[in-house]
Each structure stands twice: as C-alpha cells, then as structure tokens.
C-alpha cells in the first residue's frame, strides 16, 4: 500500500501524489513550443520550497523522453553550490551533459567561453531540451555567466527563424531553470542578463487535489476519514504539498493505531497540537531560520501587528525573499488590491510561538503566591475584564523588563510585541488552572484572536489596535462575525493603545450587540505605554 511522503519528490509507485496534469502539460508545451519545428521556450520554473517543482519537471522530462524528436536531459546543480569558480561550474555541467548524451570524447570544455560550443549543431545530433534543477543554488557569478550564454544561444536561434529547429546553429531547443527564488529578478542589481525567458510558477495543491489524496488513501486502506478532516487540513496548510503530506503521514501512520476506526476531526486536531509543539519538521525549522534573520525579522514581526495590512510586491526584496522561502503569500482582494499574508495558519502559529518565546522567554512573578485570585478565576469560571486589568497592571509595573530584549530596542512598546506578551502572560497565568490559551489567525494578517478554554467554556478575545473611530466600528462588526463563527453569544474585543484616559475608556468601552448575529461584543482597552 502507498504512503504519504514529504521527504523530497514523491515516488509514483510508492507514495500518494497529485497528478497535476494541467501544470505538466503547460510545461511540456512551453519547452516544445506551440509550433515545435520553430523551437521551444527558455523558461524559469519557480515557487517556494516544497511545492513540487522537482517532481513536476521530472514528470515533464519522463514524458518528453518518450518522443524521439528530442534529447531530454535533467540535471540537479545542488552539488555545485560551493563552487565559486565560474569556469569550473561550466566545466562540470558540461561533463555531466556529455556523459548523458554519450559524447564524452567529442569535446573538451575548459572555460565558460567554451560552454556554448556544447550546444552547436554538429556536436549535438538532434534538438535538446535541458532542465536544470536547483539552478539558484549556484553562486551569483555562475548564474550570471551561464544565463548570459543561454541568452546568446536563444537570440541566435531567434535570428535564424527561417530554419527549422534541427537546422539552426545551436540545438538547445528548450530549457527550464528550476529555483525557489526569482534568480533573474530583484536580486540581480545589474538587471537580468536573461530577459528572454518565460515564467512558470508552481502553485500549492488545490482543495480538490488535497481531497483526492485522502480519498486515494481511503480506497486503498479501507479506513474512512471524516470530511471535516480534509477541510481542517486545507485550512491549516493551504495546500502546501510538503506540510500536507507530512501531516498525512502523521494521521495515517505515526498516530493511527486504531486503523479499524475512522480518522475523526477531534483526532486530527489532537495530532495538530502535537505537530505544533512536539515534532521537529525540517521545513518549519528552515522557515524559522529564514524568518529570524536580519533584515527579515522586523518585517515578519510587523505582520503580527493588528492595525493595517501591508501591500504585496514581488519587487520588494524582503517580500520576495520571504515569499520564495514559503513564509508569506498573497492575499488578492482584487486586481488592484494585493496584501501580504502568512502562507498558511500552521506556519503563522509556528512563527508566533517561536517569537513569543524568543522575545519574552522570562516573565517575572505574575502574582503573589498568597494572593486571592477568585476575582479573576475559579474552578468554574473566568472573569475576562479582571484578567485583562491584571495584565495591564503587570505591563505597567514591568515596562523596563518587558522592553529589555525587545527587537531594535525601541523606547516604546509596539503593538505586535504586546500581542506576543499578552499571549505568554495568559498562558502562564492560567496554566495552574489547566486553562488552554490558543492563538488563531483568521485572515493570515491584521487579525489575531486568542481562544481560552476553561471549565468547559470557550472565551474569545479578538485583538486589535485602536487607530480611529471608523476602524473601531469596523472592528466591532468583525468581532461579532467571528463570535458567530465560533458559536459564541459574546466575545471580547481587546484594543491595544499607547495611551487612553478615563473619559475615552467610558466612551468606547460600551457593549455592542449585533442583533442579526446574536453576538454581544465587549470592547476593552489595554494601554501599552507608561501611565
């Protein structure tokens, strides 16, 4: 029986996989060309890590090899990542190509200047389709040198439009450069030397593709999966292939002892907690290592702020880097409105947990051991206003300690730092009462919610920055909507603000009832600046 696998490209005979036929067909068409006798295209194949680029292009190569019109070669260049001599890189690629084409004794390549000779008619006997995987693992100098050669070859072929592809001076018919970043774009400060290429972006799996993966498992194993499980997986991972298949492995193997019973949504959520807190995943470890680097860390932290959205642009080098490494993606509201959001809730939660502990790994004593806490929490209930009042008092009393390790050593407490701090405060304040505090991110940006489960009750806290009255009114409506989604009749809207006087507290801390939704919103300020 097949298995789920997230360790490199799947094996079609051993693992569950999404056929992705439309993407493969599109890539084949581009490499062959709409009119193959006229020549194919030189393309870049790009996407964040673990989206299936290598597998798709391997399928493309296998399909094309069945056609006798072309030689088809696919090479991985990861092993050349530490080679700094451009001539040496060109030489080693040439040796691999000559060996696979059975031309080892026909040509000697010593330098980059010799490299183009490899693709001449007379050396090659028929049109070649070349696929170079991990192309952006090469050094900047190697990338620049190689694509300059490819551009020259492409332009020369274009200038020979009167000849069929097999009679042109160079027989490099089509080519694909596979990478995780736009190697020929924003990081090339001198401008792209390869501006002739087309672009093929590999998207995440669709909902239907994810659903089909788990249908396939059910058919082979005979074990049923509740429909809500696939909905949950789709929400958490947004079709990211590596994480989706990793969680599929956890659900169907690692934590699937009762194979004679259905896989339930409750079990999937329990496994999700384990995946979030106890299991190391190389993909997530890599994401964290990228997100905590400068200059990317301040931007990632800013994404947790609850005020305004950030415009998305591929041409911003920080956004480009974070996108290509799978940390962020695009929220497209319309053709004109495109915003940055985290790539999926699971990644957002992992980063939130990491930065919360990095920024505030130590909290001073939250209350005196002899203090009576019955005005805040008992075995049967929780007083949210009093809990937040205690937090604000703690924040005011410990400003210096809270800010000691704050990023960029700001003099004032920024809202996103307070969000992390509030989460840790609540977690540690409530843990002796076995209350659970869970962060949720409904939109991937500009909205953070904390769910508290205690004494069989669910308490919802939606966190926002207080910017102005218009956004305040919108926040009330959004909180009511979210309360309805949670099945609650009341929800707390926590408004972070640098300073607020008593007059405005009385003015804005007034309950709002959305009669249509049947939800009452309780707004409460938390002052983050010094009193």
pLDDT digit string, tens, across residues 57-67: 999 999 999 98
Which of 196-200, 300-304, 417-421, 488-492 comes out lowest in average pLDDT?
A: 196-200
> Tell me, what's the pLDDT at 411?
43
- Closest-CA residue to 341 (of 353, 323, 356): 323
Which of 74-83, 246-255, 426-435 comes out lowest in average pLDDT?
A: 426-435
> Tell me, what's the pLDDT at 88?
97
- pLDDT per residue as tens digits for the range 378-395: 999 999 999 999 999 998
| Cα angle 453, 401, 409; round to 5 | 105
Supply the pTM of this predicted model: 0.84
Average pLDDT, the chain: 89
Residues 287 and 350 sit within 8 Å (Cβ to Cβ): yes
Is-cis flag, bond preceding 295, omega within 30? yes
| Last-in-domain residue among 279, 314, 342 | 279
Q: CA-CA distance, 236 to 251, in Å (whole number)?
A: 14
- The pLDDT confidence band at residue 192, using thresholds 50, 70 and 90, is very low
Q: CA-CA distance, 126 to 523, in Å (whole number)?
A: 72
Co-location of 172 and 86 in the same domain? yes
Co-location of 89 and 119 in the same domain? yes
- Closest-CA residue to 509 (of 490, 499, 522, 526): 522
Q: CA-CA distance, 233 to 244, in Å (whole number)?
A: 7
Residues 263 and 252 sit within 8 Å (Cβ to Cβ): yes
Q: CA-CA distance, 356 to 65, in Å (whole number)?
A: 51
Residues 492 and 459 sit within 8 Å (Cβ to Cβ): yes
> Tell me, what's the pLDDT at 191?
43
DSSP element (H, E) containing 330: strand 328-332
| Last-in-domain residue among 201, 224, 243 | 201
Residues 46 and 192 sit within 8 Å (Cβ to Cβ): no
Does residue 285 sit within a domain? no
Co-location of 257 and 295 in the same domain? no
DSSP state of 292: T
On the question of pLDDT at 416 being above 70, the answer is no
Structural domain span for residue 191: 21-201
Q: Is 291 helix (H, G, I), strand (E, B) or coil?
A: helix
Burial-class residue 109 by CB neighbours within 10 Å (0-12, 13-18, 19+): buried
CA distances from 390 to 68, 319, 384, 481 (A): 75, 38, 10, 27
Q: CA-CA distance, 16 to 33, in Å (whole number)?
A: 31
Q: What CATH number is attached to the domain comprising 85?
A: 3.40.50.300
DSSP secondary structure string, 459-488? EEEEEEE---HHHHHHHHHHHHHHHHHHT-
Count CB-CB contacts under 10 A for residue 169.
15
Co-location of 377 and 512 in the same domain? yes
Co-location of 183 and 321 in the same domain? no
- The pLDDT confidence band at residue 104, using thresholds 50, 70 and 90, is confident
- The pLDDT confidence band at residue 361, using thresholds 50, 70 and 90, is low
Q: CA-CA distance, 32 to 73, in Å (whole number)?
A: 14
DSSP element (H, E) containing 23: helix 21-32
- pLDDT per residue as tens digits for the range 432-484: 888 999 888 866 665 678 999 999 999 999 998 888 899 899 999 999 999 99
On the question of pLDDT at 188 being above 50, the answer is no
On the question of pLDDT at 185 being above 90, the answer is no
Q: Which pair of tokens denotes residue 446?
A: 């500009």
| Last-in-domain residue among 279, 309, 337 | 279
- pLDDT per residue as tens digits for the range 258-293: 999 999 999 999 999 999 888 878 889 999 999 999
Q: Which pair of tokens denotes residue 472?
A: 């305040």
Co-location of 215 and 166 in the same domain? no
Does residue 284 sit within a domain? no
Co-location of 181 and 236 in the same domain? no
Q: CA-CA distance, 480 to 518, in Å (whole number)?
A: 8
> Tell me, what's the pLDDT at 64?
96
Co-location of 33 and 116 in the same domain? yes
Could you tell me the maximum CA-CA distance found in the chain, to the nearest angstrom? 92
SS3 content of the chain, % helix, strand, coil (to 5): 45, 15, 40
On the question of pLDDT at 5 being above 80, the answer is yes
Q: CA-CA distance, 463 to 450, in Å (whole number)?
A: 8
Residue 222 backbone phi and psi in degrees, to 5: 80, 0
- pLDDT per residue as tens digits for the range 216-243: 999 999 999 999 999 999 999 999 999 9
Q: CA-CA distance, 284 to 325, in Å (whole number)?
A: 10
Quote the crossing angle between the two packed helices 227-237 and 265-277, to the nearest 10°.
Answer: 30
- The pLDDT confidence band at residue 317, using thresholds 50, 70 and 90, is confident
Question: Across residues 331-337, what is the average pLDDT?
Answer: 90
- pLDDT per residue as tens digits for the range 126-173: 999 999 999 989 998 999 899 899 999 999 999 999 999 999 999 999
- The pLDDT confidence band at residue 306, using thresholds 50, 70 and 90, is low
Q: How many domains does the chain have?
A: 3
> Tell me, what's the pLDDT at 447?
67
Q: What residues contact 355, with CB distance under 8 A and at least 6 apart?
A: 292, 300, 301, 304, 420
Question: Across residues 183-208, what is the average pLDDT?
Answer: 64
On the question of pLDDT at 18 being above 50, the answer is yes
Does residue 217 sit within a domain? yes
Does residue 197 sit within a domain? yes
Co-location of 106 and 235 in the same domain? no
Q: CA-CA distance, 424 to 361, in Å (whole number)?
A: 9
Quote the crossing angle between the two packed helices 265-277 and 345-359, to the nearest 10°.
Answer: 40
């Amino acid at each position: 029986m097949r298995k789920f696998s997230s360790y490199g490209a799947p094996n079609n005979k051993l693992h569950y996989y999404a056929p992705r036929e439309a993407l493969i067909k599109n890539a084949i068409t581009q490499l062959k060309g709409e009119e193959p006798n006229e020549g194919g295209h030189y393309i870049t194949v790009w996407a964040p890590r673990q989206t299936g680029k290598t597998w798709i292009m391997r399928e493309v190569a296998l399909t094309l090899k069945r056609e006798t019109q072309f030689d088809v070669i696919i090479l991985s260049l990861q092993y050349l990542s530490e080679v700094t001599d451009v001539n040496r890189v060109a030489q080693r690629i040439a040796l691999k190509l000559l060996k696979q084409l059975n031309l080892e004794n026909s040509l000697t390549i010593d330098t980059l200047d010799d490299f183009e000779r490899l693709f001449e008619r007379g050396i090659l006997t028929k049109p070649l389709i070349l696929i170079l995987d991990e192309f952006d693992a090469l050094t900047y100098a190697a990338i620049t040198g190689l694509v300059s050669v490819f551009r020259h070859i492409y332009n020369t072929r274009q200038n020979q439009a009167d000849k069929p592809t097999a009679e042109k001076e160079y027989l490099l018919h089509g080519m694909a450069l596979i990478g995780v970043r736009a190697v020929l774009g924003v990081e090339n400060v001198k401008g792209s030397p390869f501006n002739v290429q087309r672009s093929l972006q590999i998207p995440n799996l669709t909902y239907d593709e994810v659903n089909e993966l788990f249908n396939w498992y059910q058919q082979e194993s005979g074990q049923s999966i509740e429909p809500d499980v696939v909905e949950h997986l789709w929400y958490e991972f947004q079709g990211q292939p590596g994480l989706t298949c990793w969680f599929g492995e956890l659900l169907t193997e690692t934590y699937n002892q009762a194979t004679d019973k259905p896989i339930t949504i409750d079990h999937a959520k329990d496994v999700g907690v384990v995946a979030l807190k106890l299991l190391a995943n190389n993909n997530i470890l890599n994401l964290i290592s990228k997100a905590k680097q400068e200059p990317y860390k301040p931007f990632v932290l800013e994404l947790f702020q609850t005020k305004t959205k950030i415009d998305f642009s591929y041409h911003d080098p920080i956004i480009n880097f974070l996108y290509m490494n799978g940390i962020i993606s695009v929220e497209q509201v319309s053709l004109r409105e495109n915003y940055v959001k985290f790539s999926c809730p699971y990644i957002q939660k992992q980063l939130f947990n990491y930065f919360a502990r990095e920024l505030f790994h130590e909290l001073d004593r939250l209350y005196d051991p002899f203090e009576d806490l019955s005005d805040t929490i008992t075995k049967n209930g929780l007083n949210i206003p009093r809990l937040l009042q205690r937090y604000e008092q703690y924040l005011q009393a410990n400003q210096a300690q809270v800010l000691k390790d704050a990023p960029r050593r700001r003099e004032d407490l920024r809202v996103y730092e307070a969000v992390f701090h509030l989460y840790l405060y609540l977690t540690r304040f409530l843990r002796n009462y076995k209350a659970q505090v869970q962060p949720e991110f409904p939109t991937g940006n500009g909205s953070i919610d904390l769910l508290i489960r205690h004494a069989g009750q669910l308490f919802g806290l939606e966190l926002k920055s207080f910017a102005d009255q218009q956004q305040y009114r919108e926040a009330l409506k959004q909180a009511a909507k979210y309360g309805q989604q949670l099945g609650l009749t009341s929800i707390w809207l926590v408004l972070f603000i640098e300073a607020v006087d008593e007059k405005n507290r009385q003015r804005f801390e007034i309950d709002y009832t959305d009669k249509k939704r049947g939800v009452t919103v309780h707004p409460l300020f938390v002052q983050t600046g010094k009193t």
